[in-house]
Structure 1
Amino acid sequence: MKVSTLSLAGGLLAAALTLPTMAWAAAPESLENIEVSGHSMPVKDVRETPMADIYEVRLETGETFYTNAEGNYFLVGDLFEKTDTGLVNLTEKARNAERRARVDEVPDDQRVTFRGAETPKARVVVFTDTTCPYCQRLHEEVPRFNELGIAVDYLAFPRGGMNSPGARELEQVWCADNSSEALSAAFRDESLESDATCDNPVEEQYHLGLELGVQGTPAIILPDGSLVPGYVPAERLAAMLGLDD
């Protein structure tokens, strides 16, 4: 999803009015408390950039901007590096690395995984919703994904929020004795027998998806942390991953 410069800048100022600041390690002392109109910015992290005295600032809201060491100039947008092979989006690379790290923190026993019989060549994470038609379509291709050497780890993302029927059905899936069978049954619009009273990670995964920029389902996280929104056919995904049939 593309966010306009004006809307992002406005979001930074709005966030400064409502959220607390957060300390970080090895940041310039002058950036330990960035303020706008007397209100602290909700800073999550500050990192150096290849440019002298310019720092990348990430907010708790997930937004990113750049500032000088004193924190009195702000630049909203992506930072690119000119290389021999073209422009490299350093901001997107950092987003991907952060996304990959956050996804890697999800334990295997909190995922619904389809690996296939062979050792996978690649592993993707898919935020899904059983009420989403394109999620159902993607799931029909999971056997083909597995044939191509792609393991699929599902995480829950009820697109209608935690009070939606999709959220309740996803909780039933994660609470089932066999969650992979329950997920496949839900995609076939079959009734699930399990209840949703167990301790399940659906809400936590939903908020993780929001944090990582998921706006709808399916949303595929590639091994490098790239976010691919929407349905992708098996052969196309294999080509994106550099896999041969």
Structure 2
Amino acid sequence: MTNRPWMTVPLLSWAAFLAASGAAAAQNDPSDPELAATARVAEARLRQSFTNLQFEDFGPAPVKGPLFQASAGGHILYYAPESDHLLFATIYDRNGVNLTALAQDSGARKKVKNLDPDQALIIGPPGAPTVIEFTDPDCPYCRALDRFWAAKAAEGKPVRRQIYFVSGIHPEAASKAEHILCSKDQARAFRQAYAGEALRPLAQCKEGAARVTHNAIAVKAMGISGTPTLVLDGKIISGFQQAEIEEWLNAKERPKPPS
């Protein structure tokens, strides 16, 4: 975990119960009778609550004491101060609900309110479902996503893209973003950039440079660390996750049930 800090590992919702099961459990000594008794109860509860999983092994974890939830860089993480452990993990409840994702999405919705649409590049027809998109002109997956949106528009499923440029990953991203924002036809310049066309000479202007800087501030405030990143009705989608995006689009098409 320490050398791959953003690797997701499963952490069940009763981890705090196990971690806070008393001084004997905190010692994590398998030969301790009290800990062994606690472990038997916990294992039985585990197998009863999560009947769809097959467990080959069960034993005490190195984490001690209560767990606390924190956020950093748009990610949810957990801290156990007693044993000084930091957990990059995903917590599920007994019904399979991803509580970590819910917390992350809740934080994203709060931050989205601080985004200024006037500083974004808007592409797509008014009235179409709005997508908040963090992108980079030199990101291959961002270019694939752009082709995906174009294909969906051709199918009659357009979206309205509220685009913020991420300029801290590729060396020419900021200058290409400024070129797009300084162009008379920004949508056309965007398409050219994301089609991989050579943009020479790169256009420059004071307003475009200011918007690129503002976008960088917004990216940092949102905790965006990779591209593309989408926010779909408050839900963060990291990377070009086509199946999740398709599911969201299909839900937008379904008629709402009568109230």
Give the structure-1-normalised TM-score: 0.60
Higher strand content, 1 or 2: 1
- Tell me: CA distance 1:226–1:193, structure 2 relative to 1, closer, same or farther (3 Å): closer
Q: What does residue 179 of structure 1 align with? A: 186
Deviation string 1:191-244 (CA, Å, 9 cap, x unpaired) is 4663044352324434544665544432322223222312638xx733334234
Aligned equivalent of 1:222, options 211, 229, 232: 232
- Pick from 92, 103, 106: which aligns with 1:80? 92
Question: Following superposition of structure 1 onto structure 2, how do residues 83-232 of structure 1 map, counting pairs within 5 Å?
Answer: 86-116=95-125, 119-120=127-128, 122-146=129-153, 147-158=156-167, 160-161=169-170, 164-188=171-195, 189=197, 190-191=199-200, 194-198=203-207, 199-206=209-216, 208-209=218-219, 212=222, 214-230=224-240, 232=242
Any stretches of 5+ residues in structure 1 without a counterpart? 10-52
Aligned residue identity for 2:77: T
Residue 237 (structure 1) aligned with residue 249 (structure 2): no
CA distance in 1, matches of 2:145, 2:191: 11
The corresponding residue for 2:10 is none
Query: Quick one: which amino acid aligns to residue 205 of structure 1?
Result: N
Letter of the 1:132 counterpart? C
Structure showing greater Rg = 2
Alpha-carbon offset, residue 170 of structure 1: 0.8
Letter in 2 for 1:232: Q
1:135-184 per-position Cα deviation (integer Å, ceiling 9, x unaligned): 233323434444314222211013635xx112211122233444333322
| Letter in structure 2 aligned against 1:187 | Y
Q: After TM superposition, which residue ranges in structure 1, 4 or more long, deviate above 6 angstroms?
A: none
**CA RMSD, Structure 1 to Structure 2 (Å):** 3.5
Q: Which amino acid aligns with 1:80?
A: Y
1:62/1:88 CA distance change after superposition, 3 Å: closer
The whole-number CA distance in structure 1 between the counterparts of 2:230 and 2:73 is: 23
1:186 maps to amino acid: A
Residue 71 of structure 2 is aligned with which of 58, 64, 69?
58
Task: Work out whether residues 173 and 183 of structure 1, in 8 Å CA contact, stay in contact via their aligned partners in 2.
Answer: yes
Equivalent-residue separation in structure 2 for 1:81 and 1:110 (angstroms): 39
Deviation, structure 1 residue 131: 2.2
Q: Between Structure 1 and Structure 2, which shows a larger proportion of helix residues? A: 2
Letter in 1 for 2:236: S
Say which SS state the counterpart of residue 203 (structure 2) adopts.
coil
Work out the CA distance in 1 between the residues paired with 2:79 and 2:109: 22
Structure 1's 7 and 136: CA in aligned 2 closer, same or farther, altered over 3 A? closer
